[in-house]
Structure 1
Amino acid sequence: MNRYEIRRLNLIRLKDELCGGKIVNLANRLKKNQGFVSRLLYEEGKNYKRNIADKLVADIESAFNLPRGWLDGLSADNQLPPQSIDTENNSENGNTGAGVKIDVLDVSASCGYGVVTEREFAHVLRSIEFTREFALKMFGRRSTDLIKVITAKGDSMTPTIKSGANIFVDTKINYFDGDGVYVFIFDNEIYIKRLQITGTEIIVISDNSIYEKWRLDKQMMNNFHIQGKVIIGQNIEYIYFD
């Protein structure tokens, strides 16, 4: 058994024993995107699998207060120290008070030709807080823990989504969940586009008719990763008085 498989199995143990068996709780504890964490748990040979790199090992052990080498099975004590997380109220995400906080991420997703990214997803810059009543009206019964806000850039999705709009993205949906508008990474660039599946291809559609459709076939799928599904767009109009 190689070291990456040992790390994967120990990460599964952390998920099962300390995170209620839920990937969402594991992702919150590690402060990582749920889709990224899911791929760390994939078995060898499964599409889009990600190995647990050395730097991430240290982050995981730090997040769970584990001794150095625990994830690699090198620790003298392989027992898990007593600890717990709040899986109901998600206190780590700041949702224990009267309001509901939605993280705003420091990334612009392109409604045009793509914005280059060198990260799996962005770090949090700030948050928007809603009353629980208004959050329920906006998001229904969706869990708000994995809803994020990013900024749209470009005109390819106008008039539906204008450049500078805030878009609310359900990052729990990191797979194709039927026709809709998605945030995805292709060839290390972030896009907001409408996606449809026809047979073995994904059709990428811009709502602005001056942009042509393009297609992703099976050979391109290794470079294609859905980050979330757009559930709400908030177009912003600025009025200048001088």
Structure 2
Amino acid sequence: MSTLRERLKEARAKAGKTQAEVAEAVGVSQPAYQALESGRNQKSAFLPAIAQFLNVDSYWLSTGNSSNSFTSNEVIKPTIVSTEIQDEFIWIDVVQANFSCGNGESIEFHFDTINGKLPFPPSFFKDKRVHPEHMRIIKAKGDSMSDFIKDGDYVGIDLAQTEIIDGEIYAVYFAREGMIKQIFKEADGSLILHSLNSKYPDKTVTEENGNNFKVMGRQFWRAG
């Protein structure tokens, strides 16, 4: 199995990037990145961001193993993996959420495709007060929530937090599509689905169209 330093060098060479470009893109100092490529440091919380910038699989970059086997028709529980960098991470699925809609209030979401995994230290979940089995990661599409959430950003969703807190951001299904929106409660009981980008108008969920609305979970983490 290749080492982390070898995989970093290989990925950076294929991407045609310099060490300085990688460091600047992910927000670390150039010496800190050099320490990873030299082998002086063998772990970093920035590996997922580095993998995204170099357009390689985060799981492969961290462990040397492929994540192609993670595609499944079932929801897979996250697993704790001991890696060659001598640290324990909890690997969370990066999923593609799909929705099936029946009559009335029958709206279900499921994860047909798992597009890899991202590593998090156990302390992350303690700090965020989120159970690992309730976390899924989806990729944001479009610019309706920029500059807070940009197109292609990883977004962590807590599936256990579906009760709406005024002003929080949620992954929801509405008007036949999945979306990420800030939600505000109105005095009349309606909900405003707000886009942070002002060029996108608000959407209103009312008693009349509420059967076409479902909360997947609250957004509590992002990375891009």
Distance of aligned partners of 1:127 and 1:169 in 2 relative to their CA distance in 1, 3 Å threshold: same
- The amino acid of 2:79's aligned partner reads G
Q: 2:117 aligns with which of 113, 127, 130?
A: 127
Q: Residues 191-232 of structure 1: CA distance to partner in whole angstroms, max 9, x if unpaired?
A: 111100112110111101111222111111111000011001
1:181 aligns with 2:162: no
1:215 aligns with 2:200: no
Q: 1:103 aligns with which of 93, 102, 105?
A: 93
Q: TM-score, normalised by structure 1?
A: 0.51
1:153 is matched with which residue? 141
Q: TM-score, normalised by structure 2?
A: 0.55
CA distance in 1, matches of 2:178, 2:144: 13
CA distance in 2, matches of 1:146, 1:136: 10
2:194 is matched with which residue? 205
Which runs of 5 or more structure 2 residues have no equivalent in the other structure?
1-73, 83-87, 101-107
CA distance in 1, matches of 2:200, 2:81: 44
CA distance in 1, matches of 2:143, 2:129: 31
2:51 is matched with which residue? none
Q: 1:93 aligns with which of 44, 53, 78?
A: 78
Distance of aligned partners of 1:104 and 1:221 in 2 relative to their CA distance in 1, 3 Å threshold: same
CA distance in 1, matches of 2:121, 2:161: 24
Extract structure 1 runs of 4+ deviating beyond 4 A: 116-119
1:162 aligns with 2:150: yes
- The amino acid of 2:163's aligned partner reads Y
State the 1:32 CA deviation. 5.3
Q: What is the SS of the residue equivalent to 2:198?
A: coil
State the 1:96 CA deviation. 7.0
CA distance in 2, matches of 1:231, 1:155: 18
CA distance in 1, matches of 2:137, 2:95: 6
CA distance in 2, matches of 1:163, 1:214: 20
State the 1:164 CA deviation. 0.7
Which runs of 5 or more structure 1 residues have no equivalent in the other structure?
1-30, 34-91, 108-115, 236-242
CA contact (8 A) 2:140 2:149 kept: yes
Distance of aligned partners of 1:178 and 1:95 in 2 relative to their CA distance in 1, 3 Å threshold: farther
Q: What is the SS of the residue equivalent to 1:163?
A: coil
Larger relative strand fraction: 2
Q: What is the SS of the residue equivalent to 2:80?
A: coil
1:195 aligns with 2:209: no
CA distance in 2, matches of 1:140, 1:195: 20
Once the two structures are overlaid, the 10-residue window that deviates more, 217-226 or 178-187, is: 178-187
- The amino acid of 2:212's aligned partner reads N
Distance of aligned partners of 1:222 and 1:206 in 2 relative to their CA distance in 1, 3 Å threshold: same
2:37 is matched with which residue? none
State the 1:125 CA deviation. 2.9
CA distance in 1, matches of 2:216, 2:209: 16
